[in-house]
Structure 1
Amino acid sequence: MYPLNDKRILNIIIQCQFEDVSMIEMQFIGLKCLRLVPVDEEYTCEIMDSTMLIKDNCIYWCDCGELSENDFEDYKGTLICASKLRWRTIENGMGKGDFYIAVK
């Protein structure tokens, strides 16, 4: 049990269609907002574009391209806001073995 809410960390792995750099992991630290919005059933769920920007000492990321600072207030899709961000590429992560293994 950890009674304090000071470990607000979100890890996201995005798979790419590149052979050598097949994944990107982003770690949002000091999570302030996480809004997940499912895609309409009539559409596929690939992320074709995204926006990342810094506003008021926070990092914003959303699943839509070409948004400006002013657009984030009204954006209805998936949105992440955090104090810090770090990222890394995961090379050859889509090999023959499982990347994540279910715990029994």
Structure 2
Amino acid sequence: MGWLEVKDQKDIKNMMDTFGWFHDSCLKELYMSTESYVNEELSMAVPSGLDTNVRILFQRQFRNPSAIELLFEGVTQFHILPSPENYDSIIYDASLLLHNDFFYWLDQGDWKPGDKTFDSTSWIAATRLKWRDASSWMGKENRYGVIEKTLNN
């Protein structure tokens, strides 16, 4: 299945309904990238626009789909709050809003712009959002790369 672009409230509702409002899900992996780089001659390329993208893989305890991947493009801010030791990482519900031309995803249901919960929840804001079924990516295996013990291996 290819990427489905989220453009409006109808698309938001469709995606959230399809994934059960993230009930009994978890954030499995996150990958952030930018368009900035240093080439072989050590010159740096730094775009002037919003060039940060974040891909997030979520898995849940239900089928059809059992996993989805979200692609946030033009990310302006994000905050990931890991669960403390001896607490679970289960997402019970989430919010997805389009507000002032930005998509906001939070791992807390019923969030409204202006709520002061940004320090106590995981959230992301971006100018564009796409999603796709990733049900074939269930399980423990990392999909965004292998963690290496050292760079010299």
Please give the range of the TM-score, normalised by the shorter of the 2 chains. 0.7 to 0.9
Q: Structure 1 regions of 5+ residues with no counterpart?
A: none
Deviations 1:14-56 (A, max 9, x none): 0112345221000000000011112232421111111110111
Shift of residue 103 of structure 1?
Answer: 7.0
How far apart, CA to CA, are the structure 2 residues paired with 1:40 and 1:103?
22
Q: Match for 2:127 among 58, 83, 87? A: 83
TM score, norm. by length of structure 1: 0.80
Cα RMSD (Å) = 2.3
Task: Give the equivalent residue in structure 1 for 2:62.
Answer: 18
For residue 92 of structure 1, give the secondary structure of its aligned residue in structure 2.
helix
Percent identity, please: 27
The structure whose RCO (Cα within 8 Å, separation 6+) is larger is 1
CA contact (8 A) 1:51 1:63 kept: yes
3-state SS of paired residue (2:87): coil
Q: Any unmatched runs of 5+ in structure 2? A: 1-37, 39-44, 149-153
The 8 Å contact of residues 58 and 84 in structure 1, kept in 2 or not, is answered as yes
Distance change in 2, residues 1:54/1:16 (3 Å): same
CA positional deviation for 1:87: 0.4
> 1:20 touches 1:92 (CA, 8 Å); kept in 2?
no
Q: Which residue of 2 aligns with 1:31?
A: 75
The structure with more helix, counted as a fraction of residues: 2
1:1-104 equivalence runs, <5 A: 1=38, 2-4=45-47, 6-71=50-115, 74-75=116-117, 76=119, 77-94=121-138, 98=141, 100=143, 102=146
